[in-house]
Structure 1
Amino acid sequence: MSVPTPRSAPDERPPAESRPEPRESASAGYPPSPFAGLGRGFDAALLRGVNNITRRALGPYQTAIVRIGFAFTMLLYLVREWPNRGLLYGPDSPWSYDLASRFVEDTGAFTPLLWSDSALWFEFVYHLAILACVALLVGWRTRASSMLFMIGVLAVQNRSVFMGDGGDNVIHLMAMYLVLTRCGQVWSLDARRRARRAAAGVPATRDPVGVAIWAVLGAALLLAIVTGSLDSLVWSLFFGGMWLVHAFWWLIRRYANGEPRIVSEMIGNLVHNAALLVIMFEVCIIYATAGWYKIQGSRWQDGTAVFYPLNLDYFNAWPELSELIAGSGLLVLALSYGTVFAQVVFPFALLNRRAKNVLLVILVGEHLGIALLLGLPFFSLAMIAMDAVFLPTAFLLWLGGRVSWATAPLTRLAGRRRPASQAAQPVGAATEPAQHEAQREARQAAEPAPPAGAERP
């Protein structure tokens, strides 16, 4: 007996409007998860960060003021010690040629002053270091002059390692860092030359003077390696690599204007920004270590540390002023504790712009006091030049405007002496495109990122 197949029953389920909500949507009444959209936000922030560090060289005014500060400090030192140069770093130095040679062999340091014990060679290297300081100060061929500046600094400092007051260590480090930065973007003769050539429609690769300079430097490097004067493998690779990198960059700019140049430009920006970050990190390390070591000293703990150097004849530049300060216990206490506080807090103050600016003023005042009271001007100038990397761009632009106003008579005089075809353009006008470009990029960096798929106008 067959059982009839029942007819399908009509759909008796309630309509969709009256169906109960599924279990997973039971929390619809709760606030949204704080992690919702975190992945998209992180991707957007990462993209903005990558764009900022690859499409432009950050801190053009900060690196320029650091360049000017250290070049001026080293130039002032070399000129001041010019009458005593032979006794400090030359053939008459108590740190004799043999002692310096043994020290360099043991440590692997670099100094061309030990390539020969001739007095003529010493005079050539010393005055070449002075010329390199001048070239870097005014920003003339900063790629080459920064290399020569580093060689000059290492030459004199590694020749006599006991000549220095602490500022020489800072100059030693910063001279090597400046080689990796684009420190001639603004406030330099290079910037003025680029602006004039761009206005005249001259290609940037048409630069016979630059080619000649790097050809001479390459020939000198090859001669030093072949003759055995430069016998360090590390330094040979470093100088040879730097020369090849600059030659490659010139070839890329001349013969490859497409993707290879874009990629090379991005790599150059990355190197510059990384060097700038290292300089900032170096400043934080110096202040943090100095502050925390002071905390461990008993004289800094009881607030009397400043009293003792003020009463040392070796550091007593202004006896009456030092005696006046040392005679006030409250002032000595405030200076001692204030120094420790400023140095320890400075790395943390970088998280707040106003606190950072206030501490910069305090630290610059501290270094000026050291220069005046303890007679250490070059140490103070080196530290102030190092602190300048944290100066706000608005202040540097204001400072540049005041300097331009002060030098306006010289600019007008130079304009009268130039040919009529060039007299219409003031000397300082060459830096205006770079200033406008930096301001435009700063505004773009401050703007919020557009939504995905949108194009920036």
Structure 2
Amino acid sequence: MNRFSLAVSRGVARVTEAALGPYQTAVIRIGFAATWLLFLLREFPHRQELYGPSGPWGWNLARQLTRDNHAFTALLWSDGQLWFECFYTLAILASAALLLGWRTRTASVLFMVGVLSLQNRSVFIGDGGDNVLHLMSIYLVFTRCGQVWSLDARRAARHEAARARGEHVPADRVGPVLWAVLGAALGVVTLTGRFDNGRLVPVLLWTAWVVLGLWWAVGRRAAWREPRILLDVVTNVLHNGALAVIMAEACLIYATAGWYKIQGSRWQDGTAVYYPLHLDYFSPWPALADLMSSSGTIMMIAAYVTVMAQVAFPFTLFNRRVKNVLLVLMMTEHAVIAVVLGLPFFSLAMIAADAVFLPTSFLRRLGALAERARGRFERRGGRAVPPPRSPEESGAGRVGFTA
């Protein structure tokens, strides 16, 4: 019984004392933000047809649908062209801010609003990657995904170094101003009754705004040590819970896909991969598709390996070496899908979801390589580059206002 109590206490301490997987959450933050940003930029010339008020799926049709399914979308707050252009630009800026890790907490909320609004505006546009991005944009709001590889982490490291030298650190001005502006906008939207579609998102937005304000108020008072510790524990628990949900979501996607494939006759006889290669919609490179499908043996092996890898993936998490091998196989498969079938954003979304299982040691080495490359580039410009620091050294996980 003592051993059991000790194990439970260690588990509770591990969940509450630190935000686990800082590198993994940074990777999925960068991956999903980059996927959505590249999609918005690629579709910028076609944005009117996809999401505009006068597109094929008209504003009135979308309004009727959201009234039935209660899906949240800010694009239906107005049918004006100016509002659409401003919101599309805001979605691009929010994606870029989340990618760079600038004001990560606020950027993650705005990123979620952009993803949900655009996808729910035209529900018949997209593929499986959009569904993954839809869910992950919500989960990212609850994570502390800016602990490493972000502008927030660099700013925290600079402030920590300045305090260690006894220098004065100027008060943050951008965060409170951003919080006040967004609070005013949220108040106007609520008072004018725009939140008539979507039930949970308005509550989430107001909760996030109140929590950010409370975080700032507690961080300003040096004597409020206990409230700061409490907030840190709560955010760590939310972060670790969201990280577990993201991992479970990725496993569920592969497990359901694999078991459904097993029931299909085309997957059973090994011919399922052949057919999408010869559909015009999925054949950006017809010559390459013909070359790959010229061998029936290769098609059969590809079908069977795909099914076995998807079914086995959740079970390989208990063995690190097997998991890493299968992870490389799954990422390679999605890269091939991106090129051969012309589904780059679906593949990028799935690779970003897979990245949550990457080993920390590999991600540290990857970050060190990127840091050295950046250092060589900046030294050529005559700038001094500080050595890379861990999340614990940079103080990125400490309580502070980074709205």
TM-score, with structure 2 as normaliser: 0.93
Residue identity matched to 1:389:
V
Match of 2:363 among 385, 388, 396: 396
Cα shift at 1:187: 0.2
**For residue 235 of structure 1, what is the amino acid of its counterpart?**
V
Aligned to 1:284: 251
Q: Could you tell me how far 1:91 is from its partner in structure 2?
A: 2.5
Does residue 315 in structure 1 map to residue 282 in structure 2? yes
> CA separation in 2, counterparts of 1:168 and 1:413?
41
Q: Deviations over 1:280-336 (max 9, x none)?
A: 000010000000000000000111100111111110111111111111011001100
Are 2:194 and 1:213 equivalent residues in the alignment?
Answer: no
Contact 2:16/2:237, CA 8 A, preserved across alignment: yes
State the distance in 2 between where 1:338 and 1:103 align: 40
Structure 2 match to 1:237: 203
* 1:205 shift after superposition: 9.4
Deviates more, 1:313-322 or 1:202-211: 202-211
Structure 1 contact 186–435 (Cα < 8 Å) conserved: no
Return the offset for 1:413. Answer: 5.1
Shift, 1:72, TM fit: 0.4
Match of 1:140 in 2: 102
Give runs of ≥4 in structure 1 deviating > 4 Å.
Answer: 202-205, 435-438
1:178 paired to 2:140: yes
Is 1:335 paired with 2:302?
yes
Give the C-alpha shift of residue 204 in structure 1. 8.2
Give, in whole Å, the separation in 1 of the partners of 2:87 and 2:4. 53
Structure 2 residue 157 is the aligned partner of structure 1 residue 195: yes
> Gapped runs of 5+ residues in structure 2?
396-403
Once the two structures are TM-superposed, the CA of residue 227 in structure 1 deviates from its matched residue by: 1.2
Match of 1:247 in 2: 213
Distance 2:169 2:260 in 1: 50
Identify the match of residue 108 of structure 1 among 47, 70, 75: 70
Closer, same or farther in 2 for the Cα pair 1:437/1:341, shift >3 Å?
farther
Q: Which residue of 1 aligns with 2:398?
A: none
> Which residues in structure 2 correspond to 1:252-267 (within 5 Å)?
252-255=218-221, 256-267=223-234
Q: Does 1:305 align with 2:262?
A: no
* Aligned equivalent of 2:188: 223
Residue identity opposite 2:178 in structure 1: I
2:113 aligned to which of 112, 133, 151? 151
SS in 1 for 2:303: helix
Asked whether the equivalents of residues 205 and 250 of structure 1 are also in contact (C-alpha less than 8 Å), the reply is: no
Give the unaligned 5+ runs of structure 1. Answer: 1-38, 417-422, 439-457
SS of equivalent to 2:318: coil
Distance 1:435 1:84 in 2: 44
Give the whole-Å Cα distance in 2 for the aligned partners of 1:412 and 1:123.
40
Spell out, residue by residue over 1:199-244, the C-alpha distance to the aligned partner (whole angstroms, 9 max, x if none): 1127889311111111111111001001111235533322111111
The residue correspondences of 1:382-393 to structure 2 (distance < 5 A) are 382-393=349-360
Q: What CA deviation, in whole Å up to 9, does each residue of 1:157-178 have, x standing for no partner?
A: 0111111021111110000000
Query: Residue 32 of structure 2 aligns to which amino acid in structure 1?
Result: F
**389, 394, 397: which one aligns with 1:432:** 389
1:53–1:273 contact (8 Å) kept in structure 2: yes
Amino acid paired to 2:63: S
Matched, 1:57 2:19: yes
Q: Which amino acid aligns with 1:210?
A: G
Deviates more, 1:71-80 or 1:229-238: 229-238
Amino acid at match of 1:74: W
The answer to whether the 8 Å contact 2:32/2:133 transfers is yes
In structure 2, give the amino acid aligned to 1:406. Answer: A
- Determine if contact 1:205/1:253 at 8 Å carries over to the other structure: no
- Residue deviations 1:327-360, cap 9 Å, x none? 1011001100000000000000000000110110
TM-score (norm 1): 0.83
- Sort the Cα spacing of 1:56 and 1:116 in 2 relative to 1 into closer, same or farther, 3 A: same
C-alpha distance in 2, partners of 1:261/1:132? 28
CA distance in 2 between counterparts of 1:69 and 1:237 reads 27
| Whole-Å separation in 1 of the counterparts to 2:325 and 2:391 | 28
Q: What is residue 33 of structure 1 aligned with on the other side?
A: none
